[in-house]
Amino acid sequence: MATKQELKAFFQREFPQANFEIESAGDRSSQLRKLINNDHLRPGGTVSGPTLMAMADAALYVAILAEIGLVALAVTTNLNINFLRKPAADKDIIAKCQLIKLGKTLAIGDVFLYSDGDDNPVAHAVGIYSIPPNK
């Protein structure tokens, strides 16, 4: 198990370029916030797909590490993402993850992504992480 504070320190140290805020973590779930700037936009004034994919992947990782602790080198095995609506260019992206399986070797979760302040998700992802045996 890892607390929100331990997770924050871990990501600042190990993924300084990740640049998101952990709003909550625990109970097989997580919520992240990404401040959107021009680097994340694509033509037409919308947040790029890869920015959303990266947030979905990160939300899964945070939810899993909150359960199994920071030791494990869990890695993404599969990510499936559906893009639902055009995100607003001037709003943060919020990612809400819920784990639907936490096994010994695999964890699976789904993630809804939102433009801050809008209840209609802009994307939905499901991901599988492999958990190494020697955790």
Query: How many residues sit in the footprint of a second copy (CB under 8 A)?
Result: 37
Burial of residue 68, with CB atoms counted within 10 A of its CB: 0-12 exposed, 13-18 middle, 19 or more buried = middle
**Closer residue to a second copy (CB): 50 or 69:** 50
1, 67 in Cβ contact below 8 A?
yes
Residue 1 sits in the site that holds a second copy (CB under 8 A): no
For the bound state, the minimum distance from the C-beta of residue 124 to a second copy, rounded and expressed in Å, comes to 5
Identity of the amino acid at 57: D
Mark the segment that binds a second copy (CB under 8 A) among 14-22, 28-36, 64-72, 87-95.
14-22
The piece of 20-28, 29-37, 40-48, 87-95 that touches a second copy (CB under 8 A) is 40-48
Is the separation of the CB atoms in 34 and 93 below 8 Å?
Answer: yes
Give the separation between CA 72 and CA 70, rounded to whole angstroms. 6
Q: Is 106 in the site for a second copy (CB under 8 A)?
A: yes
Q: CB 4: neighbour CB atoms within 10 A?
A: 15
Q: How far is CA 15 from the centre of its chain?
A: 13
Q: Which residues contact a second copy by CB under 8 A?
A: 14-15, 17, 39, 42-44, 49-50, 53-54, 57, 73, 75-85, 100-101, 105-106, 108, 110, 112, 121, 124, 126, 128, 130, 133
